[in-house]
Amino acid sequence: MPDRTATAAEPTGGGESGPDDAGGGDDGAGDDPGQSDGPDRRVRVVDDGFAVSVDGGPFEAFVPRGVNLGMAKPGRFPGEAAITREEYDRWLAWMGELNVNVVRVYTVHPPAFYRALAAYNREHADPIHLLHGNWIGEELLADAGDAFALSAEFDRSLRQAVDVVHGATTLDPEPGHASGTYDADVSDVVLGYIAGIEWPPTVVAETNRANDPGAYDGEYLSSTVDRPFERWLAERLDRAVAHEIDEYGTQRPAAFTNWVTTDPLSHPYEPFEAEDAVTVDPDAVVATDAYDAGTFAAYHVYPYYPPLLNETPEYANYVDHRGEPNSYAGYLNDLVGTTDHPLVVAEFGVPDSRGIAQRHVHGRDQGRHTENEQGEIVAAMYEDVREVGAAGGLVFSWHDEWFKRTWNLAPVSDSNRRPEWSNVQTPEQGFGLLTFDPANGVPLDGSEGAWTDATAATSAGSPVRVDDGSSGADGADGADGADGDRELTALRVTSDAAYLSIRLELADIGGTGGDGGGVDWDRTNYLVTLGLTGRSGVELPHGVDAVSSSTDFVVRLGGPDDSRVTVHPRYDAFAYLYGAEAGLDLSAYRDPDPGAFAPLRMTIGRGYTIPPTGERVPFQSVETGALRYGNGNPDSPEYDSLADVHVSPSTDAIEIRLPWLLLNVADPSRRRRLGDLWTDGVDAYEPFEAIDVAAATYVPADGEGGSDSTAAKPIDSRSTNLAHAVPGIEGGRLDTVAYVPPTWDEPAYTERLKESAEHLREAFGRYD
């Protein structure tokens, strides 16, 4: 593997840009222009996939091992077309190192992409081929209803894609699109075109309703059924192929995007009617004798949605080539067996996000995977694609995309500012093989260097000494017992574009290892309080007999299996958005009892009834506030990308990093948070000037690990049950230190290939 990290050039422009802001001028204009000087390649679709002929030689089988490349990057929406030539060059080089032989783009990229692709392929004997698409907005389709109303616009965008890959056009600036002079001819490596998006079933149904039935008889592609939507698709592809033949004397395979929702199969176990309401059948669009290149099927297939992939017994019980149950392979096997055209799985993958949005019956969930687990799953999915006889597969996606949102979290972040920060809670952001680590982030490995400029506080009071004794690493009682674990010497707070990070520095962590890092959790627990709203006089939980001058969230550290963040019930976004569905007593959230704090939860399913059986699958959520212990440094052999807490006996420190969205921060780049949910709703974002932070230690009441091990043991010598605190305790009130997070207009970050990339490199290499 090459060096897998790079410092990204800081983006330019931007500000309050939205998803339709234009960008993408002549980046690198004049560099590597001109006609293709590569070999003459012909591409055709054969019975079981693609075949390529080079310089008039025999057609040889070609199997796509690919990635999908979007047009966004940190600080930019995709419509700004802001990726630079330097970035394209670097990314294509890394793709080649990962044994990628196809890159798919959904729409026209800036000229820099095509120049970079041409340059890469001039320098490498094994080229990276291109599958090119044209994008049409789902909202535009929904507003039109009938797809025929958009025929002219769709045809124009497909013609543009053809002209662009031949390096023979100039596109004027247009909001939401790339523009510039396209002078790099990459047509020799174009494997084909995949038109359109995942078709909304409502649009398919309306198109079929609004138009007379009938087939399309084209010169190069025809439709074989009377459904108007397939007729519309056949005509669109036919016109694009005709344009390429007429203008450039060549032809490439063409297909359209499809997905599980509109596949031609019947799915009686699908609980949501819209997910099996209409059919868009690739087999209904066929090549004529004049179209030697041919057509194929292109499907986006993920393992966890729609629910039919979990609930259909035929899939859930399917035994794959490994001898294991595998619903994903079961569905693919069914789809490939039903489709006459060669089938490319044009999108597949799972995200490595901290948050989760869907469960999968065999563990390929939408989120909550480490980078290593992501790689293992994605590599296995590519194996599934190949073993069931599909023509190839394209991983989604090449890079993480900060602008993305996920259905269960979309309301709680500012849609206009999403590209400016890394929301590790949202699964849609984390599908990439390439990630963007925020600059100045702490490595979460105990090292002190990243904390130099952190806001710091020390204690104004002395710790209570219990002299209860605890075993050190060698089994001998420490001289100060567990008191060294309880004495806080400093509290440090810092942040970056993804996390608020907190470091507790202690007098002495008695042990040296183990999952808990050497702390005797039966004798010492830690509290960290966080306030953003100015909520004062809050009675703290866990029987510590203290109130806080400002608290909305409480972090309790009780060891690897007993640590979590909880929220003041009135500030619980989950309860506000989903509490009724979850069966919560909402009155306890609007007007909570003193000392009540609620677990932080994340919705992963709103419930449904399985049609053939009548079985009810209930509303489901997970406790996303539960904290995971590990080492968060990507350079460490013990790296755990999901780590929230690290205990470092060597530096007598405990470090915590908390995602911004976990703390109801809707836009950290502007220091804006959720407001009073029950009064103003979820989208009434409020500014905050600082985060009030405090830390404290206490002795758990049940040191033997009983049923109430979270509660504090009374300390007779003081007014609260807290053994020590930073900044301190006065009159039963826990004081706080104000941390003022920086704001920014452009996020600073570094690029890094995830651990998952190595798994894919190996899998692609085995199927080379």
Is 2 contained in some domain?
no
Query: pLDDT tens-digit profile of 550-591?
Result: 999 999 999 999 999 999 999 999 999 999 999 999 999 999
Handedness of CA 242, 247, 249, 252 (dihedral sign): negative
DSSP 8-state code for residue 732: T
C-alpha to C-alpha distance for 354 and 427, rounded to whole angstroms: 7
- Residues 492 and 454 sit within 8 Å (Cβ to Cβ): yes
DSSP 8-state code for residue 293: S
Query: pLDDT-derived band of residue 718, with 50, 70 and 90 as boundaries?
Result: confident
Q: What is the pLDDT of residue 705?
A: 45
The burial class, CB within 10 Å (0-12 / 13-18 / 19+), for 403 is buried
Q: What is the pLDDT of residue 213?
A: 98
The mean pLDDT value for 230-244 works out to 98
Asked if 597 and 681 sit in the same domain, the reply is: yes
Q: What is the pLDDT of residue 17?
A: 31
C-alpha to C-alpha distance for 411 and 398, rounded to whole angstroms: 26
The mean pLDDT value for 350-370 works out to 98
Asked if 420 and 556 sit in the same domain, the reply is: no
Asked if 423 and 548 sit in the same domain, the reply is: no
Is 225 contained in some domain?
yes
Query: pLDDT tens-digit profile of 699-710?
Result: 999 754 445 678
Asked if 577 and 679 sit in the same domain, the reply is: yes
Whether 674 shows a pLDDT value over 70: the answer reads: yes
Q: What is the pLDDT of residue 467?
A: 79
Neighbours of 438 (CB within 10 A): 18
For residue 98, list its beta bridge partners: none
Closest C-alpha among 39, 45, 94, 33 to residue 69: 94
Residue 670 φ then ψ, to 5°: -120, 10
Phi and psi based region of residue 481 (left: phi greater than 0; alpha: psi -120 to 50; beta: remaining): left
Give pTM, 2 decimals.
0.94
The tokens of 87 are what?
A: 């970035």
C-alpha to C-alpha distance for 651 and 632, rounded to whole angstroms: 16
CA distances (Å), origin 346, targets 91, 157, 163, 634: 20, 20, 23, 30
CA distances (Å), origin 763, targets 10, 129, 231, 324: 33, 19, 38, 18
Q: Greater confidence, 31 or 468?
A: 468
Q: What is the CATH number of the domain that holds 515?
A: 2.60.40
Q: What is the pLDDT of residue 662?
A: 98
| Residues found in the chain | 768
Is 359 contained in some domain?
yes
Q: What is the pLDDT of residue 665?
A: 98
CA distances (Å), origin 91, targets 98, 123, 697: 11, 15, 47
Neighbours of 12 (CB within 10 A): 11
Query: pLDDT tens-digit profile of 596-619?
Result: 999 999 999 999 999 999 999 999
Whether 27 shows a pLDDT value over 60: the answer reads: no
Which residue range is the domain that position 673 belongs to?
455-467+478-739
CA distances (Å), origin 692, targets 442, 457, 491, 531, 738: 20, 12, 12, 5, 5
Whether 225 shows a pLDDT value over 80: the answer reads: yes
Is 174 contained in some domain?
yes
Asked if 663 and 753 sit in the same domain, the reply is: no
Asked if 511 and 414 sit in the same domain, the reply is: no
Is 299 contained in some domain?
yes
Q: What is the CATH number of the domain that holds 408?
A: 3.20.20.80
Number of domains making up the chain = 2
Asked if 724 and 630 sit in the same domain, the reply is: yes
Query: pLDDT tens-digit profile of 746-768?
Result: 999 999 999 999 999 999 999 98
Query: pLDDT-derived band of residue 717, with 50, 70 and 90 as boundaries?
Result: confident
Is 636 contained in some domain?
yes
b/e code 584-611 from CB counts within 10 Å (16+ = b): beeeebeebeeeebbbbbbbbbeebebb
Place of tokens 């149904």: 205
Query: pLDDT tens-digit profile of 41-87?
Result: 999 999 999 999 999 999 999 999 999 999 999 999 999 999 999 99
Closest C-alpha among 547, 567, 548 to residue 556: 567
Handedness of CA 581, 540, 622, 670 (dihedral sign): positive
Q: What is the pLDDT of residue 382?
A: 98
Is 28 contained in some domain?
no
C-alpha of 135 from chain center: 21
Is 675 contained in some domain?
yes
Cα angle at 528 between 435 and 426, to 5 degrees? Answer: 30
Asked if 375 and 486 sit in the same domain, the reply is: no
Query: pLDDT tens-digit profile of 119-171?
Result: 999 999 999 999 999 999 999 999 999 999 999 999 999 999 999 999 999 99
The percentage of the chain sitting over the pLDDT mark of 90, rounded to a whole number, equals: 89
H helix or E strand, kind and range, residue 330:
helix 327-338
C-alpha to C-alpha distance for 119 and 88, rounded to whole angstroms: 11
C-alpha to C-alpha distance for 74 and 497, rounded to whole angstroms: 10
SS3 state of residue 160: helix
Asked if 487 and 398 sit in the same domain, the reply is: no
C-alpha of 708 from chain center: 37
For residue 24, list its beta bridge partners: none
The mean pLDDT value for 461-474 works out to 70
Asked if 569 and 706 sit in the same domain, the reply is: yes
Q: What is the pLDDT of residue 510?
A: 76
Asked if 179 and 325 sit in the same domain, the reply is: yes
Asked if 459 and 412 sit in the same domain, the reply is: no
Q: What is the pLDDT of residue 708?
A: 61
Q: What is the pLDDT of residue 34?
A: 54
Helices (H), 519-657: 573-582, 587-590
Task: List all residues 6 or more positions away from 381 whose beta carbon is below 8 Å from its beta carbon.
Answer: 303, 328, 348, 349, 350, 364, 393
